[in-house]
Amino acid sequence: MIKYLLGMAVTGLALTSAPAAADKKEEKPKDPEAITCKYIKLVRSRIPERVCRTNFEWTELKREQLQAKEQNRNRSSTCGTSIRC
C-alpha cells in the first residue's frame, strides 16, 4: 500500500512539473547565430561525442532528417511495378 501511495505521489509531481518545463522552452526564442553544443551518442560507442553548431544549423539538420524520414516512409509504402500489392 505504501509503495502504491509513493508511486502516485511521484507520478503527481512529475505531471505537475511537466507543463512548467514546456512553458520555459516556448518563452525564449533562440538566436540563430548562437552556438549550441549537444552530446550525441554514436553507433558502436558508449561515449557520446560533443557536437557544436549554430542554432540555425541544428534546425536545418532536424528539417533534413524529417524530410528524409518522410521520403523513406513514402517510398516503402508504395507498390513497385514488379511487386504485386
Question: Alpha-carbon torsion 26, 28, 34, 37, what sign?
Answer: negative
Kindly provide the b/e burial profile for residues 53-64, where b requires at least 16 CB atoms within 10 angstroms of the residue's own CB.
Answer: eeeeebeeeeee
- Regarding predicted confidence, which is higher, 16 or 42? 42
Note the pTM of the prediction, 2 decimals. 0.52
Q: What is residue 74's predicted lDDT score, i.e. its pLDDT?
A: 78
CA–CA separation, 78 and 85 (whole Å)? 9
Average pLDDT of the chain, as a whole number: 75
Judge whether residue 3 has pLDDT over 70. no
Per-residue pLDDT tens for 39-62?
999 898 999 999 999 999 999 999
